[in-house]
Amino acid sequence: MYVKKLMQAATVALCLISQNALAAQDFSALDTAELMQLKPNEMGEEDRNAFRDEMRKRTANMNSTEKEEFRNQMREQKKGQSDRQEMQRSGGMGRGQ
């Protein structure tokens, strides 16, 4: 009887944990600077969609200077990502060509 209740409790706990893992992350608690540091290409599809929705909301409320700063920062992140990818394809640093 004790084992059966323990198994039921474990099953309920696992279900709750898995539901939480499947739910999209709430990005509204982060400030814009923190949000801009995140990498959507490293997120799951549901989190990436939630991230994009939050960024759309925030950019709609930005003035032109803030939007330009945001665009520049996103470009820098993309450039850094493509540089790292290129380095990985070419064998990385310190491997002697």
pLDDT in tens, 6-30: 677 666 555 545 444 556 788 888 8
How confident is the prediction for the chain on average, in pLDDT?
A: 76
At 53 the pLDDT is 92
Is 0.85 surpassed by the pTM of this model? Answer: no
Return the pLDDT at 19. Answer: 47
Sign of CA dihedral 31, 36, 37, 38: positive
Say if residue 43's pLDDT is above 80. Answer: yes
Average pLDDT over every residue of 76-81: 74
